Chains A and B, each alone.
Chain A
Amino acid sequence: MHQILMVEDNPADIELMQQTVRELGRPINLHICNDGVTAVDFLNRRGQYNTVPVPDLVFLDLNLPRRGGIEVLLMLMQRPETRMIPVIVFSMSNRKDDITQAYSLGARCYIHKSVNYSHFLTTMEQLFRFWFDYAVIPGGSAAG
Chain B
Amino acid sequence: MLIRHQLFVKIVATAIVTLLSVYVAISTLLAQQRSVDNETLLVNALRTVAQLSSLAHEFALHPAERITEQWRLQQQQLSRLLKRLQQSLPEEHLAIVNLAQRVEHVDSIFSRWQASAQYAFNKSENQTLMLLLQDDLVVESQAMIQLSFDIHKNSIDIIRHHSNTSTFQMLGMLATLVLIIIVLSVSSWHSMIVPLGLILAGTKQLQIGNLAHLIPVHSEDELGEISHALNAMSKQLHYNQHLLESIVDNTSAIIYVKDKNGGYITINHAYEALLNTNRKTIAGKTDHDLFTKQIADVLRANDLQAMQTGKAIAIEETAQHADGVLHHYISIKFPIYDVKSRLLGSAGISTDISERIHIEQQLASKTAELLQSNEALQRFAYVASHDLQEPLRAIYGFAELLQRKYHDKLDAQAMHYIDYITSGATRLQAMIQALLHYSRLETQHIESVAVDLNQAYGWAVDNLQRQIRDTHACIGCVQLPVVKASLQEMGQLFQNLIGNAIKYAKPNLAPKIDISSEYHQGDWHIKVSDNGEGIAEEYWDQIFEIFKRLHGHSHSEGNGIGLAICKKIVEKHGGKLWLSSIPGEGSTFHVLLHAA
Q: Do A12 and B393 contact each other (CB < 8 Å), given the known contacts A115-B429, A117-B400, A118-B400?
A: yes
Instruction: Tell me, in angstroms, the Cα distance from A62 to B385 when the chains sit together.
Output: 12
For A120, list chain B residues within 8 Å (CB).
397
**Smallest beta-carbon distance B395→chain A, Å:** 9
Q: Considering only CB atoms, which chain B residue lies closest to A16 in the complex?
A: B397
**Smallest beta-carbon distance B445→chain A, Å:** 12
Most buried by A among B391, B400, B429: B400
1/0 per residue, CB under 8 A from A, across B389-429: the answer is 11111101110110010000000000000000000011001
Instruction: Tell me, in angstroms, the Cα distance from A113 to B394 when the chains sit together.
Output: 11
1/0 per residue, CB under 8 A from B, across A113-125: the answer is 1111110100000
For B404, list chain A residues within 8 Å (CB).
117
Asked if B385 and A115 make an inter-chain contact with CB atoms under 8 angstroms apart, the answer reads no
For B389, list chain A residues within 8 Å (CB).
92, 113, 115
For A95, list chain B residues within 8 Å (CB).
382, 385, 436, 440
For A126, list chain B residues within 8 Å (CB).
none
Pick the contact of B396 from A63, A94, A115 — CB < 8 Å? A115
Q: Considering only CB atoms, which chain B residue lies closest to A10 in the complex?
A: B390
How many B residues have CB within 8 A of the partner chain? Answer: 21
For B80, list chain A residues within 8 Å (CB).
none
For B440, list chain A residues within 8 Å (CB).
95
For A113, list chain B residues within 8 Å (CB).
389-390, 393
Q: Do A93 and B385 contact each other (CB < 8 Å), given the known contacts A115-B429, A116-B400, A117-B401?
A: yes
Asked if A12 and B382 make an inter-chain contact with CB atoms under 8 angstroms apart, the answer reads no
For B436, list chain A residues within 8 Å (CB).
94-95
**Smallest beta-carbon distance A119→chain B, Å:** 10
Pick the contact of A115 from B386, B387, B392, B401 — CB < 8 Å? B392
A92-130 interface with B by 8 A CB criterion: 92-95, 113-118, 120
B168-218 interface with A by 8 A CB criterion: none
1/0 per residue, CB under 8 A from B, across A75-99: the answer is 0000000000000000111110000
Most buried by B among A15, A62, A91, A95: A95
Asked if A10 and B400 make an inter-chain contact with CB atoms under 8 angstroms apart, the answer reads no
For A115, list chain B residues within 8 Å (CB).
389, 392-393, 396-397, 425-426, 429
For B385, list chain A residues within 8 Å (CB).
92-95
Asked if A63 and B394 make an inter-chain contact with CB atoms under 8 angstroms apart, the answer reads no
Pick the contact of B386 from A15, A19, A93 — CB < 8 Å? A93
For A15, list chain B residues within 8 Å (CB).
398
For A12, list chain B residues within 8 Å (CB).
390-391, 393-394, 397-398
Most buried by B among A10, A19, A92, A95: A92
For B397, list chain A residues within 8 Å (CB).
12, 16, 115, 117, 120
For B394, list chain A residues within 8 Å (CB).
10, 12-13, 16
Q: Considering only CB atoms, which chain A residue lies closest to B393 in the complex?
A: A115
Pick the contact of A63 from B387, B392, B429 — CB < 8 Å? B387
Instruction: Tell me, in angstroms, the Cα distance from A118 to B422 when the chains sit together.
Output: 12
Most buried by A among B386, B387, B398, B429: B386
Q: Considering only CB atoms, which chain A residue lies closest to B397 in the complex?
A: A117
Asked if B401 and A116 make an inter-chain contact with CB atoms under 8 angstroms apart, the answer reads no
Q: Considering only CB atoms, which chain A residue lies closest to B400 in the complex?
A: A117
The total of interchain contacts (Cβ-Cβ below 8 angstroms) comes to 60
Q: Considering only CB atoms, which chain A residue lies closest to B389 in the complex?
A: A92
For B390, list chain A residues within 8 Å (CB).
10, 12-13, 63, 92, 113
A1-45 interface with B by 8 A CB criterion: 10, 12-13, 15-16, 19
**Smallest beta-carbon distance B392→chain A, Å:** 6
Instruction: Tell me, in angstroms, the Cα distance from A5 to B280 when the chains sit together.
Output: 90
Instruction: Tell me, in angstroms, the Cα distance from A94 to B385 when the chains sit together.
Output: 8
B370-397 interface with A by 8 A CB criterion: 382, 385-387, 389-394, 396-397
Instruction: Tell me, in angstroms, the Cα distance from A93 to B398 when the chains sit together.
Output: 20
B446-492 interface with A by 8 A CB criterion: none
Instruction: Tell me, in angstroms, the Cα distance from A123 to B387 when the chains sit together.
Output: 22
Q: Considering only CB atoms, which chain B residue lies closest to A113 in the complex?
A: B393
Q: Considering only CB atoms, which chain A residue lies closest to B422 in the complex?
A: A116
Q: Considering only CB atoms, which chain B residue lies closest to A116 in the complex?
A: B396
Instruction: Tell me, in angstroms, the Cα distance from A62 to B387 when the chains sit together.
Output: 11
For A63, list chain B residues within 8 Å (CB).
386-387, 390
Asked if A91 and B386 make an inter-chain contact with CB atoms under 8 angstroms apart, the answer reads yes
Instruction: Tell me, in angstroms, the Cα distance from A97 to B426 when the chains sit together.
Output: 25
Q: Considering only CB atoms, which chain B residue lies closest to A23 in the complex?
A: B404
**Smallest beta-carbon distance B491→chain A, Å:** 16
Instruction: Tell me, in angstroms, the Cα distance from A95 to B404 when the chains sit together.
Output: 32
For B387, list chain A residues within 8 Å (CB).
63
Instruction: Tell me, in angstroms, the Cα distance from A92 to B392 when the chains sit together.
Output: 10
Most buried by B among A63, A115, A117: A115
Instruction: Tell me, in angstroms, the Cα distance from A125 to B404 when the chains sit together.
Output: 17
Instruction: Tell me, in angstroms, the Cα distance from A63 to B390 when the chains sit together.
Output: 10
Instruction: Tell me, in angstroms, the Cα distance from A62 to B392 when the chains sit together.
Output: 17
Instruction: Tell me, in angstroms, the Cα distance from A95 to B396 when the chains sit together.
Output: 22
Instruction: Tell me, in angstroms, the Cα distance from A116 to B428 when the chains sit together.
Output: 12
**Smallest beta-carbon distance B94→chain A, Å:** 159
For A94, list chain B residues within 8 Å (CB).
385, 436
Most buried by A among B393, B398, B401: B393
**Smallest beta-carbon distance A37→chain B, Å:** 19
Instruction: Tell me, in angstroms, the Cα distance from A93 to B388 when the chains sit together.
Output: 11
Instruction: Tell me, in angstroms, the Cα distance from A10 to B396 when the chains sit together.
Output: 14
A-B contact pairs, 27 of them (CB 8 A): A10-B390, A12-B390, A12-B397, A12-B398, A15-B398, A16-B393, A16-B397, A16-B398, A16-B401, A63-B386, A63-B390, A91-B386, A92-B390, A92-B393, A93-B382, A94-B385, A95-B382, A95-B385, A113-B393, A115-B389, A115-B397, A115-B426, A116-B400, A117-B398, A117-B400, A117-B401, A120-B397
Chain A contact residues, CB within 8 Å of chain B = 10, 12-13, 15-16, 19, 62-63, 91-95, 113-118, 120
Besides A12-B397, A63-B387, A114-B393, 5 more A-B contacts (Cβ < 8 Å) are A10-B390, A12-B390, A115-B389, A115-B396, A117-B397
Chain B contact residues, CB within 8 Å of chain A = 382, 385-387, 389-394, 396-398, 400-401, 404, 425-426, 429, 436, 440
Question: Which 6 pairs across A and B sit closest by C-beta, in order of nearness?
Answer: A12-B394, A117-B400, A92-B389, A117-B397, A63-B386, A93-B385
